[in-house]
Chains A and B, each alone.
Chain A
Amino acid sequence: MTIKEPRSSQPLAVNLLKTVAYVLGSVLLFVAIAMAASAIVSVFYAEYETAMWIAISAGITALFGYTTRRLVPRPRSITVKQGFATVGLAWFVFSIFGALPYLLSGAIPNISDAVFETASGFTTTGASILADPSLLPKGISFWRALTQWLGGMGVIVLGVAILPLLGTGGMQLARAESPGPTPDRLTPRFQGTAKRLWIIYAIITVIEMGFLSVGDMTGFQAVIHSLTTMSTGGFGTEATSIAGFSNYTKWVITFFMFVAGVSFALHFRAWSKPVEYWKNSEFRLYGLIIVGAIVIVAGGLLGGDLEPLTAVRDAIFNTISLVTTTGFWSTDFGQWRPALQIMVVGLMFLGGMAGSTAGGMKTFRIGVLSKAAFADLRRLVHPRGIFVTRFGGKRVSDPVIEAVQSYFLFYMFLFMTSTFLLAFIDANLSEDLDLITATTAVAASIGNIGPGLGEVGPAGNYAGLPDLAKWLLSSLMIVGRLEIFPVLVLFTKDLWRR
């Protein structure tokens, strides 16, 4: 009993990088398996050369993953702080590995473009540098959709679900990766929860495939669009997104976009008891926001020269697509009248429920933020009154409120500084971009939506931006997907100090 515990003799930074390497090693194996699946799809469509390049990418990724996993010892334990930083760093690295199939196959030869497309994939943003995705080889198109599907529920969460990755540390990692402030536990152990979430996610995706394949989509298109709807990604196979498909297809996708914006833990609970949906106050708020937004947008469109039925359908489809941050479009909302375009920008910030695959700020945060603000207002009227912020019948503790408020602050701060940076880059490297393009490109990247307005609107794409701008936006997508803190924590001194 009198033996001294050895103190870690390594600086924190080294320990942290070791943890990152170990986690990456494991996660890259999954990425490699997904690449291999895409190679098989390529073979199926007789694209042998593409298949070979994707397979080589898979090989490189697997080799790298395997060696790091062998070389780096399994870290003993991970603190909350380290978990955040690990996830932040890991996402940047595997976005680069994910670009290999594009680069090697020659589908996207420029490295900035390829990394942009991959980051846009894993983060379920759906912004693209491609003018016409229908020209891509099938295997590459499949890989593109698969990155979104993996990124939707989270590659690290998948790692936790399948491997007992890092024991307790896995929980800290998965927490940093899961959208929303507090992950809902379906089982006592996080591994069980992660498994259930992935299973329900996969099941709903397959159901959507079934519905889509009986419409006017080909089997391949149904698979791709299901993968990218459920992840609220928005990559498609056509240059015109969903605009060219039948009304049936549009309604199916509308429904599943709505479903993808709902917490998957809630889907799991409500599977046998649908009334659980209605009992959930975040779900009710989510529904309310969507209905309210649809009413406003539809009102605006009905005043135009569109047929009423088309106007309402366009309003419903595009509003849900924007609020859930999917980024599909059924009509070029860049052509809408200016007031509605401002509405579009506003919708980009909302996002779906916490625990869904959607980006944005999340309904939970919006609810808490407005309730806390209202409580502050009442405090002014009754200086001695005690006001407790409640959400869903439960008290929201002060640390949670503070975290939500600082999240909002960081989100807006990041939005404004990045817009400025993007405008600055553009002014120096290419012709000036208009304000609308710069603001919406940033908002659509942080919020993981995809298309913005102006040059990067539904009819355009991100190819025209300078390389530096693409790297900036790729980073913003990752920052947005991981909900800011895991990345920002990398820039704090405390993390790197011993």
Chain B
Amino acid sequence: MRIIIVGAGAVGSYLAERLSAEGQDVVVIEYDEKRATQLQESIDALVLTGNGASKHLLEEAEADKSDLLIAVSNSDGANVLACFTATELGTKTTIARIEDPELREGADRLGVDVVIDPSATTAEELVRIVGIGGASEVIPFADGKLVMVGGIVSPNAAITDGPLRDLRIRQAEWGWVLAALVRDGRTIVAHGDTVVRAGDHALLMTTDDRVAEATRILGLKRRNLDRAIIMGGTRLAELTADAMSEAGVSVVIVEEDMDRCSDLASHHPQALVICGDPTDPDVLGDLDLGPKDVAIGLTGWDEVNLLGCLVAKASGAGMAISRFNRISYVGLLSGLGIDAAVSSRLMAASAILRFVRKGKVEQVATFSDTDAEALEIEVSAGSEACNKTLFDLNLPIGVIIGGISRDGTTFVPDGSTVVRSGDHIIFFSLPRDIEESIALFTA
């Protein structure tokens, strides 16, 4: 697939790296020469320097032969214009990041097929994580009826008690399936004789009414969080503040810049805005942090987020969530007091991979510490999997089915479940098996 990416910022360069490593033909257009040179050194893609909305440059990038254009530069206007020009030239699908909600209206008439806003999706994810209080990921599938819950398995958790085969029998009254474990940086797709250990990062699939059982079996300490301390006054922080207030969590925003603080205070009257350094123990000390507080580091700097979270945790906060731009931090800084991490890059990748995968892929979820993906796909009539039981399907070894949504009902399947056309299948797959498994469900 030929893909043009406009803008090599945090999201653009991550997408370029991920997609080119996957074997896609990627052309990146970046305005800044230095950044362009740097990117060209590190990835197997063509990097052009210039304005991504210019017709001349898009022609050079062969927009006429491209399947997808992803405009993720930091200007909404330039993104829309790039999509417009690319559509004129004949690019099949265009995706634009548009941050200003008012600009989204009518964007489809300007050639933008899909609008993404990674910050907004990150804010939603943060609300879900805080809502469950203890999980590191909460990813909804099939319109929210199936949920993938991720978390670090604690010692003495019920799931560590013997191989999964035996556990399934003991915990048979509710539908769940353990998709995978990430242990010491390696991804293990769960099978009957897998034994879960404390400290593993487990990804478990269940229906939305069984999330409580899911967190219990993983031994996640559920906290009833009622106050969010948001560090930083970025756009993501603002979106998160609004979403939290809406969900009934009271919000404190800590921001260093005085002018920015008064702006924040006037736009978010429901939040308490504190002017101060979020990494200063005195500033956080004044807030009397307790176990019902969650600290969320959302400044633009990874190091500030990390330090702020650590200080908050040490001052008594019940949970700390940090936003990282550099995804490699997520794995490296584990066990240091960060309970969960979010990244707008991963959110953007999740939103976009759907268009890169062949077949009727409805949703793709990506993870910070493994290249594996969770996908939701609609089974086409006449595909190989149709009318077969999962047992007879001969799935690749790196694939596990987590859930099926059929005619408005959702359930976690077992080996005897028969796949029908029109089913939405949610499965977890290692990167090397993704293509093969998608092919199974596609006619």
A residues whose Cβ falls under 8 Å from a Cβ of B: 1-6, 80, 164, 167-168, 170-171, 185, 187-192, 397
Contacts and interface: CB of A to CB of B under 8 A. Distances in A.
Contact of A189 (B44, B199, B367): B44
Contacts of B136: 1-2
Interface string B16-31: 0000110101110000
B102 interface: no
Contacts of A3: 182-185, 199-201, 331, 334, 369
A189 B45 contact: yes
A188 B27 contact: yes
Contact of B185 (A6, A185, A191, A397): A6
A190 B40 CA distance: 11
B332 A1 contact: no
B69 to A, nearest CB: 14
Nearest to A167: B21
A190 B182 CA distance: 32
A1 B152 contact: yes
Contact of A4 (B26, B27, B331, B338): B331
Contacts of B20: 168, 188-189
Interface of B: 2, 20-21, 23, 25-27, 37, 41, 43-46, 136-137, 150, 152, 182-185, 199-201, 328, 330-332, 334-335, 338-341, 367-369
A164 B21 CA distance: 11
A189 B43 CA distance: 9
A185 B183 contact: no
Counting chain B CB atoms within 10 Å of each CB, which of A80, A188, A191 scores highest? Answer: A188
Nearest to B21: A168
Given A168-B21, A188-B26, A2 B334 contact: yes
B44 A5 contact: no
A188 B25 contact: yes
Nearest to B136: A1
A39 B367 CA distance: 53
Contacts of B45: 188-189
B342 to A, nearest CB: 9
A388 to B, nearest CB: 13
Given A189-B44, A397-B37, A5 B332 contact: yes
Counting chain B CB atoms within 10 Å of each CB, which of A3, A5, A167, A187 scores highest? Answer: A3
Counting chain B CB atoms within 10 Å of each CB, which of A80, A170, A189 scores highest? Answer: A189
B43 A168 contact: yes
Contact of B369 (A1, A80, A187, A397): A1
B43 A1 contact: no
Nearest to A170: B44
Contacts of B137: 1
Contacts of A190: 44
Contacts of A6: 184-185
A164 B328 contact: no
Given A80-B41, A189-B20, A1 B25 contact: no
Contacts of A171: 44
Contacts of B150: 1
A168 B45 CA distance: 9
A187 B367 CA distance: 30
Nearest to B37: A397
Contacts of B152: 1-2
Given A2-B136, A4-B332, A188-B25, 10 more contacts: A1-B340, A2-B201, A2-B334, A4-B185, A167-B21, A187-B46, A188-B45, A189-B23, A189-B45, A191-B44
Nearest to A185: B46
Contacts of B339: 2
Contacts of A5: 185, 328, 331-332, 369
* Interface secondary structure of A, over-half rule: loop
Contact of B335 (A4, A164, A187, A189): A4
A80 B41 CA distance: 8
Contacts of B332: 4-5
17 contacts: A1-B338, A1-B341, A2-B136, A2-B339, A3-B185, A3-B369, A4-B335, A6-B184, A80-B41, A164-B23, A168-B44, A188-B20, A188-B25, A188-B27, A189-B20, A189-B23, A190-B44
A270 to B, nearest CB: 17
A4 to B, nearest CB: 6
Contacts of B183: 3
Counting chain A CB atoms within 10 Å of each CB, which of B27, B43, B46, B183 scores highest? Answer: B46
B44 A1 contact: no
Contacts of A187: 25, 46
Nearest to B331: A5
Contact of A1 (B26, B199, B368): B368
Contacts of B340: 1
A331 B122 CA distance: 74
A168 B43 CA distance: 7
A18 B330 CA distance: 28
Nearest to A5: B331
Contacts of B43: 168
A80 B201 CA distance: 33
Contacts of A80: 41
Contacts of B44: 167-168, 170-171, 188-191
Contacts of B41: 80
Nearest to B337: A2
A170 B23 CA distance: 12
A167 B44 CA distance: 9
A1 B185 contact: no
A170 B44 CA distance: 9
B91 to A, nearest CB: 14
A397 B33 CA distance: 10
A5 B183 CA distance: 9
B306 to A, nearest CB: 13
A397 B36 CA distance: 13
A187 B369 CA distance: 31
Contacts of B341: 1
Contacts of B334: 1-4
Nearest to A190: B44
Contacts of A191: 44
A188 B152 CA distance: 40
Nearest to A171: B44
A4 B338 CA distance: 13
A189 B24 CA distance: 8
A84 to B, nearest CB: 13
Contacts of A189: 20, 23, 25-26, 44-45
A185 B201 CA distance: 41
Contacts of A170: 44
A396 B21 CA distance: 29
A187 B27 CA distance: 9
A191 B331 CA distance: 31
| Nearest 9 Cβ contacts at the A-B interface | A2-B334, A188-B46, A5-B331, A188-B25, A1-B136, A171-B44, A5-B185, A168-B44, A6-B185
Contacts of B199: 3
Counting chain A CB atoms within 10 Å of each CB, which of B45, B136, B328 scores highest? Answer: B45
Contacts of B21: 167-168
A1 B27 contact: no
A254 to B, nearest CB: 36
A189 B27 CA distance: 9
Contacts of A168: 20-21, 43-44
A2 B335 contact: yes
A85 B20 CA distance: 24
Contacts of A192: 25
A80 B27 CA distance: 21
B56 to A, nearest CB: 15
A2 B25 contact: no
A92 B367 CA distance: 42
Contacts of B368: 1
Counting chain A CB atoms within 10 Å of each CB, which of B26, B183, B341, B369 scores highest? Answer: B369
